[in-house]
Chain A
Amino acid sequence: MGGKVSCTLGEVTNRADFIIFWGGNPAECHPRHFTKYSLTPKGRFVPDGRKGRTAVLVDIRETPSAKAADIFLQLRPSKDFEVLTTLRALIKDQRVDPAAVAETGLTLEQLQDLVDRMKKARFGAMFFGMGLSMTRGKHMNSGALLNLAAEMNAFTKFVCMPMRGHGNVTGADVVLRYTTGYPFGVNLSRGYPRYNPGEFSTVDLLVRGDNDAAFILGADPGATMPQPAIEHLASIPTIVLDPKVTHTSRLSRVHITTAVTGVSAPGTAYRMDEIPLPLAPALRSPYPTDEEVVRRIRRAVARRPAWQPVDENVRSAIA
């Protein structure tokens, strides 16, 4: 996400007086987000804590997080992009069609009120969940919200970040970025990294049947992926590393049991604001860590003849 205007959660705690949660339900999915980072703690420039902050929740239904918010804006499903585009127009005092706004489930007055409050904020922070990024529009929605945050900086300080689930998925983005230059869906089959979501993203690859082997760690796609993707995984040699025998293990040729990240395996994990934190395991596992097993497999691969990308001209010259 190049150009993302963001900050650490510590800055949110100490500075943010206006917070928007969009398409996420932290009360149930990130239970300590409100109390540890975003709403209730007293911050250096927010000495009154919760009283010093305004919280807005934007979602398609009234989740338990709505109770924690001062303003709840309920939009119709799949209208996020339209609302975000309207907000981007309103902050620049451009005219919008009230009838078109009404189709989103919100009124022009509600959105104008939101824009007025956003401009009056000293430091605005926006958090978005999968309710924004996994609905119609997908990454275009996330992009629209990130752009809104960037554009708000013409008026006051505004930042934006995704509410990441799954422990260290943020770390996966960071590690892939600093090793390959791209955050996910990186194809190394030509010997250099290529990035094209939709073409080199896992579900698309598996549904098309492009892969002839799979190596899975820190995930259980056998329980979560679309059926055609699972069927392809089951039809090819799949290797899985997991602390438990999972759905994926049952469809795999090889399962290796590993220690539990953070419980019995040491290392580093990234928080959603891209702060790396050391893990402090309290138990000693009878199993090796993911790191050790992947290294051993990599060394076993290295003992075999080197794989090289073959140039088509070379191939035809040999033939």
Chain B
Amino acid sequence: MSQTSNLTVVENATCTFCGCVCDDIELHADGERIVQAKMACSLGKSWFLNHTAERLYPDALIDGREATLDDAVEAAAEYLHAANMPLVYGLSNTTCEAQREAVALAESIGGVVDSHTSL
């Protein structure tokens, strides 16, 4: 990571939009958004340029109402703990580290764990 004028430059960044997972992207970012994604294809560019670090959404919602992260974590744990056959699903647009946590969660609640592969 290097600093040029006000922009942070990240070399060899990795794009996770599609399964090519290109790892040669050069990202130029100010504190809040990525302004340039060199080497990225059209899909990768829109992926990087459309995700920002702005606070656009509430930390959490419970029944559609804004809530704190702590309350949402407790509510999630309560629902999942109470369920007999909970489902843990998705896992595509996330990291392997989060996937491992999700498998451990599925085991601790005695649920099913599944991904987009089954579609």
Residues of A in contact with B (beta carbons under 8 Å apart)? 29-33, 36-37, 134, 163-176, 179-180, 183-191, 197, 200-203, 205-206, 210-219, 221, 224, 237, 239, 243-245, 249-250, 252-257, 260-272, 275-291, 293-298, 300-304, 307, 309
Contacts and interface: CB of A to CB of B under 8 A. Distances in A.
A295 B34 contact: no
A185 B75 CA distance: 25
A262 B16 CA distance: 6
Interface string B102-119: 111111111111111111
A214 B20 contact: no
B30 to A, nearest CB: 9
Instruction: Give 7 nearest A-B pairs by CB, closest first.
Output: A267-B95, A219-B90, A164-B19, A213-B83, A300-B77, A218-B94, A31-B41
A188 B12 CA distance: 38
B85 to A, nearest CB: 5
A301 to B, nearest CB: 5
Contacts of B58: 257
Given A267-B98, A297-B105, A239 B79 contact: yes
A172 B92 contact: yes
Interface string B1-31: 0000000101011111111111100010101
A171 to B, nearest CB: 5
A261 to B, nearest CB: 5
Contacts of A286: 53-55
A166 B93 contact: yes
Contacts of A189: 84-85, 110-112
Interface residues of B, number: 88
A165 B18 contact: yes
B98 A291 contact: yes
Nearest to A33: B20
Nearest to A29: B18
Contacts of B105: 215, 294, 297-298, 301
Contacts of A224: 119
Which has the most chain A C-beta neighbours within 10 Å: B62, B96, B109?
Answer: B96
Interface of B: 8, 10, 12-23, 27, 29, 31-34, 41-44, 47-48, 51-64, 69, 72-77, 79-119
B14 A277 contact: yes
Given A257-B57, A263-B51, A309-B110, A202 B87 contact: yes
Contact of B117 (A30, A184, A287, A288): A184
B92 A307 contact: no
A39 to B, nearest CB: 13
A175 B103 contact: yes
A30 to B, nearest CB: 5
A266 B74 CA distance: 25
A216 B90 contact: yes
B83 A184 contact: no
A229 to B, nearest CB: 10
B60 A254 contact: yes
Contacts of A33: 20
Contacts of B76: 215, 239, 254, 256, 297, 300
A307 B51 contact: no
Contacts of B99: 168, 171-172, 175-176
A283 B72 contact: no
A73 to B, nearest CB: 23
Contacts of A165: 18-19
Contacts of B27: 280, 282
